[in-house]
Amino acid sequence: MLQYGTKIVAGVTPGKGGTEVYGVPVYDTVADAVKEHEADASIIFVPARFAPDAVYEAVDAGIKLIVVITEHIPIIETAKMIKYAKMKGARIIGPNCPGIINPENSLVGILPPRAFRKGKVGIVSRSGTLTYEVSELIKKELGQSTVIGIGGDPIIGTDMVEVVKAFDEDPETEYIVVIGEIGGTMEERVAQLKKKGLIKKKMVGYIAGLTAPREKRMGHAGAVVYMGMGTFESKVKALKEAGIPVANTPYEIKDILLSL
């Protein structure tokens, strides 16, 4: 993140206050850090058992954007910390996500910079690896405005619908790419908004999970089906009925975007 140009003003590790890492001062608490520096975002890397407390600490210190990279946080703890953040007017991205990048400007997360170039496509994705792959594929011809990996857990702080709405209002974004996967209903809800005319910008969808065996439980925590919604077929059908073209493979996304 430092190499990319993100302004990292402080680090926080209890017991390490007074030290430095790559020239960045380290503090024992977030409260100590914000007394000395202006900060509008926090990124959480700590192990799952400590992550919720790290979120609460950032929220209580007045930080309004919190990116949680940590995976395997118990769902009940995730639900509590997201509710608390919303009550305090803070936004969480994640948990279990790669973060957010505004190409050639700022990176808050673990996305590989080589895959991104300033452009006009906003990407929202539930899959970290697919985020990088699709970004790399469209980098040369189109580039990206902002890319957000929202995370694959069943409960997340910022969902796909919120991000798509934000992209629709963003003057730097001309096209929106939605990278979904089986489970949950976010993609269907995005399709409903588009169908009602509430999303104006041109969109392309891709759903991972075509070959997932129906009888087998998949590893992603968010891969839960609800009463006919959440399947690969239901998501593709909803997107297409809303007039959103759906790529069969990640490689088709660029071709569809260039044809819009």
DSSP characters over 97-139: --EEEETTTEEEES--GGG--EEEEEEEES-HHHHHHHHHHHT
| Letter string b/e over residues 211-244, b meaning 16 or more CB atoms within 10 A of that residue's CB | ebeeeeeeebbbbeeeeeebbbebbbebbeebeb
Name the pairing type of β-strands 11-12 and 24-27: parallel
> Contact 101/147 with Cβ under 8 angstroms?
yes
Query: Pick the catalytic residue: 139, 194, 220, 254?
Result: 220
Q: Pick from 175, 165, 245, 164: which is nearest to 207 by CA? A: 245
C-alpha gyration radius of the chain: 19
Q: Is residue 72 among the annotated active site residues?
A: no
Q: Pick from 233, 223, 85: which is nearest to 152 by CA? A: 223
186/152 Cα distance (integer angstroms): 11
Q: Pick from 227, 224, 253: which is nearest to 239 by CA? A: 253
Active site residues: 220
